[in-house]
Structure 1
Amino acid sequence: MPVSVQLEVTPLPEQPFGATVTLPAGITDPSKLSDEDFNKLREALHSNLVLVIPNQADLPPASQHALTSRFDPSCQGNYGHDEKLFHHKSSILAKDGKCIPDRPEVIMVGNGDFEAGHAPGMKAFDLEHPTHHSFHKDVLSPEEVAAGQTRFYRWHIDSALYGLAPPMVTTLLGIQVPPTTEKQTIKYTDSNEEFELTKGATAFASGATAFKLLSPEDQEFALNTTVVYAPHPYIYISETKATSDGLTIVSEGKEKTFDQLPAWEEDKIKKLPLVWTNPTTKEPHLQVHGCCVWKLINNKTGEVIELEEARKLVHKFMRPAISPKHIYAHPWKKGDLAIFFNRGVWHTVTGEFDPEERRLMHQCNIASGEDPLCLN
């Protein structure tokens, strides 16, 4: 990539959204951008939804944290989840990552065993790449996996969805990435569609596109709907299984009862708009974590749509936006720093890794001080 005297943003070719960023000459740490360049970066993020800055493998966790927090002056300084709840033995997130001791807002995700010393005070650790085999109701057969099939694991926004406000952005840095051009294929179970992607790609879907694909009647409904999330939602669904597209949960009555959950407070239950407004483009984005939905409330009529029907409706609204032509699947290379607008996209893990394959990434998102708004 050519050297730039100023920050440059280049849309990804032949992709529905996303862009690469070239840092200004002399700047190697994006957290140290001038105010002028950072404002350009922030506006580019809101417009392109996913930005990729290459050659950042040596970016320190402190710089990644500083960059992430710079996008949201209201952020609380802590990781986007309560750490005890994130690692709670019953949470579906319990195995998803480990915090860096001296910068706990940055967590390590990936696959494989790693020696001590990765970070100050860091003991030897192991990571497990999430797989649909542990989360979906119906899973791929060994023959299908051997033939190169994979699944969208769980479409989501990064958020505790209890107590803490959803982070503004997430940064994800490829520290150690297996050099591979191996392709895997997602075969949609409700259509003849197929989507080919690089093994281990992170897939993104645009909430703005999701809203645009709704009928006028459904847009009106969405603009006037509040999503109510269950208390401790990742524990609430810990014994349930997801739909084959990873969008929501199959309703089988396997949710934990509220008295089986850790202590919770009514005023910490998250009630968020189904549609969030992009602060730069002013576009409406359909932003919802389909697996954690508990209820929907119609703000005009007061009608409450309960769990099973709420899941069905959210799935109907989300599904068109994950068709192949609407998705960007990032093919990771060592040193890629992906910055994504967590209030404008959903994302998911993909890929099936062998136990001996080693991949290490640093992820950072920080709880905001303010919930998102729908400026309807």
Structure 2
Amino acid sequence: MTISDSLTIHQLPGAPLGATVTMPSYTTDPSKLNEEDFAKLKKGLLTYSVLVVPNQADLPPESQYALTVRFDPSTSTQYGHDEKIFHSSLSVLAKDGKCVPRRPEVMMVGNGTFPAGHEGMKEFTLLHPSQSVFHKKTLTDEEIAQHHTRFYRWHIDAALYEFSPPVVTTLLGVIVPPKSEKQVITYEDSDERLEVSTGATAFASGKTAFDLLSDEDKQFALNTTVVYAPHPYIFIHEAKATSDGLTMVSEGKEMSLDELPKWEESKIKKLPMVWTNPITGNPHLQFHSCCVYKLVDNKTGKTIADLEKAREICHRLIRPAISPKYVYAHAWNKGDLCIFHNRGVIHSVTGEMPAEEKRLMHQCNVASGEDPI
């Protein structure tokens, strides 16, 4: 491949979304792109939703942070979540990662025990998220032996309380399982199957999700506000997810609002169900249905306050978009940097990993200064 004097972007062949990036000759660090090439990168991201920049294994956390915040002029210096709440033992996110000490907006996620020295850390252990602790109906030992896996939890990266959802997430593959390791996702409500590499990150387009709606459902979505629970990841910490990872099973296990950590009505997130892509103008169906609390009709003010009903509606609307033909499951190479439009896609971890399997990723997202519209 010839290295150009300027950045180039190529759509992934045969994939429902995504593109690859070839860096220009003047830098290997995407945070140091000139203004022209960065504008091209940003336009490519908002067009293709996921960009893959290979050969970034040595990208330092400082550069990953600088690149991430460059996409959003309104961005704060706040990691996408309140760190105290994120790491609360009551949160479903509690074990999801550890911060790089000198750049805490960069989170280390993965699987296995790593020796002292990585990014100034003492010896540390990461645990790959597993359906075995999060889903209501888990895979059997026999299914795991047959290399089955699940979408763990479809989501957007966002606190969904107090802080505005990040515009962009960057995810760097530092240590990854061999691409030759394959697992399969089966769909309980159909005969569909999706083969993925172990530890693949799955992406589904909010634009595709909107386009697949009926005309009636499009009008419903365009005129609906999603109200999220205060401290939503604590609110749902005793609940279990559906087998497709799209939402939670309603069994009355949610924490009552008066038992949650202190919260304020003004900090509850009330976001449109449809977000507009600022470059293409396309509507994207974007919500985190695991954390939904209520749905509100913008025209009439009518509220769907029944949690089970609100979840059922969200599940029905988004489910078609995670069918195999619409999912891009990124099979990681060491050094891949995935940049994804967190306001244009939902994504999910996949993969069943034994304790001895090593996986180490650097993830960065930073709360925006503005809510999506």
TM-score tier, shorter chain, comes to: over 0.9
Q: Equivalent residue of 1:197, what SS?
A: strand
Q: Equivalent residue of 2:360, what SS?
A: strand
1:240-266 deviation per Cα after TM superposition (whole angstroms, max 9, x unaligned): 000000000110000000111100011
The answer as to whether partners of 2:160 and 2:269 remain within 8 angstroms in 1 is yes
**In 1, Cα distance between the equivalents of 2:259 and 2:333?**
42
Structure 2 residues without counterparts, runs of 5 or longer: none
2:371 maps to a residue whose letter is D
Identity of aligned residues (%): 66
Shift of 1:337: 0.1
Q: How does 1:294-373 map to 2 (within 5 A)?
A: 294-306=293-305, 307-373=307-373
Q: How does 1:1-376 map to 2 (within 5 A)?
A: 1-120=1-120, 122-306=121-305, 307-373=307-373
The answer as to whether partners of 2:87 and 2:94 remain within 8 angstroms in 1 is yes
Shift of 1:324: 0.4
2:321 maps to a residue whose letter is A
Shift of 1:180: 3.4
Shift of 1:179: 2.5
**In 2, Cα distance between the equivalents of 1:179 and 1:217?**
45
Shift of 1:182: 1.3
**In 2, Cα distance between the equivalents of 1:79 and 1:181?**
34
Deviation above 3 Å: which 4+ runs of structure 1?
Answer: none
Shift of 1:78: 1.5
Q: Equivalent residue of 1:42, what SS?
A: helix
1:241 maps to a residue whose letter is K
Q: Equivalent residue of 1:204, what SS?
A: strand
State the Cα RMSD in Å. 0.6
Shift of 1:6: 1.1
**In 1, Cα distance between the equivalents of 2:295 and 2:46?**
27
**In 2, Cα distance between the equivalents of 1:76 and 1:22?**
29
1:25-47 deviation per Cα after TM superposition (whole angstroms, max 9, x unaligned): 12110000001100010000000
1:175-226 deviation per Cα after TM superposition (whole angstroms, max 9, x unaligned): 1112231111111000111111111100000000000000000000100000
**In 2, Cα distance between the equivalents of 1:32 and 1:351?**
33
2:128 maps to a residue whose letter is H
TM, length-normalised to structure 1: 0.98
1:343 maps to a residue whose letter is R
Q: Equivalent residue of 2:338, what SS?
A: strand
TM, length-normalised to structure 2: 0.99
**In 2, Cα distance between the equivalents of 1:3 and 1:37?**
14
The answer as to whether partners of 2:52 and 2:338 remain within 8 angstroms in 1 is yes
Q: Equivalent residue of 1:119, what SS?
A: helix
Shift of 1:113: 0.2
Structure 1 residues without counterparts, runs of 5 or longer: none
**In 1, Cα distance between the equivalents of 2:148 and 2:111?**
19
**In 2, Cα distance between the equivalents of 1:224 and 1:180?**
43
2:131 maps to a residue whose letter is H
**In 2, Cα distance between the equivalents of 1:229 and 1:180?**
37
**In 1, Cα distance between the equivalents of 2:176 and 2:303?**
46
1:177 maps to a residue whose letter is V
**In 2, Cα distance between the equivalents of 1:148 and 1:218?**
37
**In 2, Cα distance between the equivalents of 1:169 and 1:91?**
23
Shift of 1:301: 1.2
**In 1, Cα distance between the equivalents of 2:112 and 2:197?**
19
**In 1, Cα distance between the equivalents of 2:179 and 2:156?**
27
